[in-house]
Structure 1
Amino acid sequence: MITASSITLQRGTKVLLDSTSLTIHPGQKLGLVGQNGCGKSSLFSLLRNELQVDGGELYLPSNWQIASVAQETPALDTPAIDYVIEGDVEYCELQAKLERAEQQGEGEAIALLHGQLDAIGGYQIRARAAELLAGLGFDEPAQASPVHSFSGGWRMRLNLAQALLCRSDLLLLDEPTNHLDLDTVVWLEQWLRRYPGTLVLISHDRDFLDNIVGRIVHIEQATLNDYTGNYSDFEKQRAEKLAQQQALHEKQVRERAHMQKFVDRFRYKASKAKQAQSRLKALEKMTLIGEAHVDSQFSFSFREPDSLPLPLLTMDEVTAGYGDKQILSKLQFNLVPGSRIGLLGRNGAGKSTFIKLLSKDLAPQGGELDINPKAQVGYFAQHQLETLRLDDSPLQHLQRLAPDNTEQELRNYLGSFGFHGDKALDKVAPFSGGEKARLVLALITWQKPNLLLLDEPTNHLDLDMRHALTMALQNFEGAMVVVSHDRALLRATTDEFYLVSDGQLSPFNGDLDDYQRWLSQAQANSAKSASESKTASEAPSRKELKRLEAEHRQTLAPLRKQLNKAEAEMERWQTALEEVEQQLADSSLYEAKNKAQLQESLERQREAKQKLEQAEGQWFELEEEIDALNQQFSAQFAD
């Protein structure tokens, strides 16, 4: 158990934590949220023992193994899979000891070390590393490629694989979904839900938090504020607190009216019933959570375009790629004002290639691409952060676009993107990735685009800025094409999805839940094809079959152990729920003198229901995973 008792942490003159306390129990999955600079990463440094508290006491069990993602990746010649394995310090130390013992012929030490390697799963480490890398988007050739051959984003995926591979009691993840695409985010989400240790997660992805954590710690005013439930639960609870502040009430009403306007606008588009239903649910949810962001420093909207030409662009038999490599072929597509399209597709399918076509960053290799001369394109991609002039300020960047506007007008505008006061005059060079992304969005918005092309616009943006961007996009009058791993943004801002797959672009008749099922089916089909391609000569012998069955049982053993634990938890909380509901059936409990006891019983009932639901959910997930593994194993030997 981790306990922080009245801890204080100060960096320079800024007090990040002030006499605040927190307890984290083993196995809990906790989301850590708060505005940029509030102390989230510093708290991670405390947990890694890289910093010491300035007051109070912080206790971590001395025998706990802690895993986190390295922030730097040297340009090594080491193959990717070996680099990931080298991140498991415990395994590497045992291997080194084993090699020394073998060189010196120490039989007893060799036997002992083999046993220790077996205990930590050392003999399966390469298979586990390959599985992690495959989940993070590395195919077999990529796994064998040297580390130096990968870009910065892919190197961060290698560091993430290192952290996931290590045996750990505490896993610290700081923005793990940055640089990931949607299908990889979904895979990571499923992996973390099965992780048996204690997880502390910093993320600005609302859906990612919702689907993993059962507790939120919000750092605000140098205090660790504890909330039970996922991120959406936190927003509702915090909204209730904020709603009590009369000064914020009018702004809340305006935001609700704003969101309702878009619910009404979209409600009657019957041609896309399934996607409409998903969008409406998202907007209804945003109506509930909007109040949690009323104190945000970000509040902006897209300026009205000068014109809305029809059509904005058309494609006829367009082919695109790089050099001799063709990525997309024979695309038929047209875009009109009001189109709100989300692009889906597996990593490497060509989503970014399609966006580059639309932005003219990439010329078609064949076919006709006709872009209306009145199209005013606002294009956001991560590489554009590098086009900012590092020695200039946000104000100077904007003055080049608006030489006729007064300085005060421009500073007021920059303030809506969080560049208040002297921040608007600071050089861009030391800005964080999030601050640079906000500045690029501010410059795009100022130019009144009628066509928005957004390629992962939420990378580095915090939750408040993501909320502000979502609100602004809902009010955007032009056309929009967006690639994003942020499912909350996609649900709330897009009207239709297009799928990029097998070099083609086609409408996707479904919502994001359907897309997740499509991904699972595509993976299952790939596995089935691989299995069917085996020849009869590859069929295992009886001895080999017994070995494979033993390995399969070994694979299932920890899952069955977790399943039994979940069953015990279900029984425990079902019993607790029955006991408290029996107490609540006593009419005397509702008398005024028993008010405190009643409140306690109601709280116990709420907790029992929540814990029972969590245990049942975990049981169903484990049961499905075991069934899937059994089916996969059986399919290997089917005729």
Structure 2
Amino acid sequence: MITAENLALLRGGSTLFEDSSFQIFPQHRVGLVGKNGCGKSSLFALFRGELQADEGQLHVPAKWRFASVAQDTPALEQSALSYVIDGDRPFRQLQAELAQAETAEDGHRMAELHDQLAAIGSFDIEARASAMLAGLGFAQEQLQNPVKAFSGGWRMRLNLAQALMARADLLLLDEPTNHLDVDAIFWLEDYLKQFSGTLILISHDRDFLDQVCTDILHIEHQRVNAYRGNYSQFEAQRAEQLAQQQSQYEKAQVMRQHLQSYVDRFRYKASKAKQAQSRLKAIEKLPTQAPLRAQSDIQFRFLEPPQLPNPLMTLRDAQAGYDETVVLHSIKLNLVPGTRLGLLGRNGAGKSTLIKLLAGELPPLGGERVVSQGLRIGYFAQHQLETLDMQASALLHLQRLDRHATEQQLRDFLGKLGFSGDDATRAVEPMSGGEKARLALAIIIYQKPNLLLLDEPTNHLDLSLRDTLVDALQDYQGALIVVAHDRHLLRTTVDEFCLVAGGQVQPFDGDLDDYHRWLQEQASASKSKSAPAAGQRQAPDRKEQKRREAQFRQQVAPLKKRIEQREAEISQLEQQLEQLHEQLSDASLYDDANKAQLQDLLQQQTAIKQQLEQAEADWMAAEEELAEHQQLFADSHDTI
């Protein structure tokens, strides 16, 4: 069992949490939630023993084995399957010892090791690793490909699979769904619900937390509070606490007014002075804490569009793709006010390509894209934060959009979205990812769009901000197209779905639960296909195959180079952050004499974090585009 007693942790001169006590029982699955920057990742570092508590104690059983997802994946020649099996360290250790025994021709030791390997289930280890990789979206023919052949996003999936292969007593997962599509998230949920160890995960995915977690740890107001149940049950318990504290606060206020009234009347009368003094002491003992505030005071609200033409946009047998490469064929869509459409499909199937076609960022390679007069598009792309001017303020961004609005009008608008006072005039560069996402949404809202195109809009938003966005989208009057792995967002904001697969965009008759069942049926059908049937396909012409592969490598070479450059940049920036982190851990740095040095280090830290966010955003955008090219090539290769 994990126990924390009066735990406190300070980082960068500020308190993340203090006076916190909780217990985590074996085989429980715990969701760690809270606002961005509240200390979730630092608490993870405490669990791993990478940080030490400033006060109190955190006890984790000494014999427990840990597993977490590696953040870096070297460009290895090792196969994907073998790399994932490396996660089972006891197996690899026994395997190495067996090889030594065989070299030494020690038959007795060999027999012992074979028994130990059998005891840990080594006979089916490849099958388990293969099933895990299939669940995370890898095709059977990819399992023997070298790790270096995969792009960064798919390498992160390999790292996740390797962590899941570990025989861990404590599994720590930090945003495990970030690089997964809905298909893989469904599989991961089912897998984690069967996990036999203790799980602690950080996630902003409400549905994922609801499906997986048995307990919640919530960091708020510098406290770590424990709740029993999944995320929805936690919310209900917390709402009850809020109501109780509000009631207690209101009662205290009534009592305070009553006592203060007596003091004001009689404090200067000698006969009543003693009683007045007694009531003053009573006032001092009354609770002074204000009622708990909701996690977010920000309220997104989409402004009413000036007009709603019908239809807003029509696609007639449109083709979408890049250069001369067609990703999607024969697209037929008619978007009218009130359309609320979610796009389903695997990563790389073309969902983002379709969004870019609708937004006008990609011209149709065939067919027609017909837009109505008065159409106003609000487009939130996966790399939307890159479009912000890092040196400009939130106020300046809006002033560039509307030269006629007064500064006060723009400040009033920004204030409702959390940019009040000096926050409205500070530069974008040092803002957090969540603040930049808020600003990007504010810019879209201000333009009063009648067609909203949202491609993963919640990537940088914490749970409370996701909820405010859901509320705003439910009231939105125009047409809405959403790509998201956040199923709560999809369930609560769209009315119908389209499936993007195999180069086609087709209506999907059902909801997300039906999609889950459809995926399971597809997986079962794939497994039932016999090997001879697959082997009866006509072998492709080897010369033509080599030509196509060379053409594909040439086509994606600039993208791969961009990804490699960003990965190198991210690695370098992470090393710099780690060095700064070590410097900021020096207690003497917080003495008054070292104040200037501390400020300089904190400024460096902020600047590097900003550069890291930009590099990661560009890396993700390039990854998505590369995945679409790879999917297209794989589909065309299958048809040869």
Q: TM-score, normalised to structure 1's length? A: 0.71
Between stretches 148-157 and 417-426, larger displacement belongs to 417-426
Residue aligning to 2:18: 18
Residue aligning to 2:513: 513
Instruction: Give the deviation of 1:247 after TM superposition.
Output: 9.5
Residue aligning to 1:204: 204
Q: How does 1:136-535 map to 2 (within 5 A)?
A: 136-244=136-244, 294-322=294-322, 326-530=326-530, 533=533
Instruction: Give the deviation of 1:65 after TM superposition.
Output: 1.0
1:195-244: per-residue Cα shift (whole Å, max 9, x none)? 11111121111111111112212112222222222111111111122234
Q: Which amino acid aligns with 2:308?
A: L
Over 3 Å counting, the alpha-carbon distance change for 1:398 and 1:160 in structure 2 is farther
1:37 matched to 2:37? The reply is yes
1:495-517: per-residue Cα shift (whole Å, max 9, x none)? 22222334333332322222222
* Alignment root-mean-square deviation, CA: 2.9
What is the SS of the residue equivalent to 1:211? helix
> For 1:534 and 1:229, how far apart are their aligned partners in 2?
47
> Conserved in 1, the CA contact under 8 Å of 2:38 and 2:222?
yes
Instruction: Give the deviation of 1:110 after TM superposition.
Output: 3.9
After TM superposition, which residue ranges in structure 1, 4 or more long, deviate above 6 angstroms? 247-250
Q: Which amino acid aligns with 1:473?
A: L
> For 2:212 and 2:164, how far apart are their aligned partners in 1?
15
> For 2:125 and 2:390, how far apart are their aligned partners in 1?
44
What is the SS of the residue equivalent to 2:219? strand
> For 1:404 and 1:148, how far apart are their aligned partners in 2?
54
1:20-74: per-residue Cα shift (whole Å, max 9, x none)? 1111111111111111121111111111111111122211111111111122333
Q: Which amino acid aligns with 1:43?
A: L
> Conserved in 1, the CA contact under 8 Å of 2:450 and 2:478?
yes
Over 3 Å counting, the alpha-carbon distance change for 1:494 and 1:10 in structure 2 is same
Between stretches 19-28 and 77-86, larger displacement belongs to 77-86
Show structure 1 runs of 5+ residues with no match. Answer: 251-290, 537-639
> For 2:51 and 2:62, how far apart are their aligned partners in 1?
16
What is the SS of the residue equivalent to 1:473? helix
> Conserved in 2, the CA contact under 8 Å of 1:218 and 1:224?
yes
> For 1:418 and 1:159, how far apart are their aligned partners in 2?
37
Q: Report how many aligned residue pairs link the two structures.
A: 496
Between stretches 362-371 and 408-417, larger displacement belongs to 408-417
> For 1:151 and 1:373, how far apart are their aligned partners in 2?
41
Residue aligning to 1:50: 50
1:59 matched to 2:72? The reply is no
> Conserved in 2, the CA contact under 8 Å of 1:8 and 1:54?
yes
Instruction: Give the deviation of 1:489 after TM superposition.
Output: 1.2
> Conserved in 2, the CA contact under 8 Å of 1:179 and 1:459?
no
> For 1:227 and 1:128, how far apart are their aligned partners in 2?
34
What is the SS of the residue equivalent to 2:314? strand
> For 1:515 and 1:236, how far apart are their aligned partners in 2?
29
Tell me which of the two structures has the higher relative contact order, counting C-alpha pairs closer than 8 angstroms and 6 or more residues apart: 2
Over 3 Å counting, the alpha-carbon distance change for 1:141 and 1:446 in structure 2 is farther
What is the SS of the residue equivalent to 2:529? helix
> Conserved in 2, the CA contact under 8 Å of 1:18 and 1:222?
yes
> For 1:340 and 1:386, how far apart are their aligned partners in 2?
27
Q: Which amino acid aligns with 2:353?
A: T
Q: Which amino acid aligns with 1:497?
A: F
Instruction: Give the deviation of 1:322 after TM superposition.
Output: 4.2
Q: Which amino acid aligns with 1:85?
A: I
1:409-449: per-residue Cα shift (whole Å, max 9, x none)? 44443444444554444444454443333232222222221
Q: Which amino acid aligns with 2:172?
A: L
> For 1:433 and 1:383, how far apart are their aligned partners in 2?
12
> For 1:186 and 1:344, how far apart are their aligned partners in 2?
13
Q: TM-score, normalised to structure 2's length? A: 0.71
Q: Which amino acid aligns with 1:53?
A: A
Q: Which amino acid aligns with 1:18?
A: E
> For 2:106 and 2:427, how far apart are their aligned partners in 1?
62
Residue aligning to 1:600: none
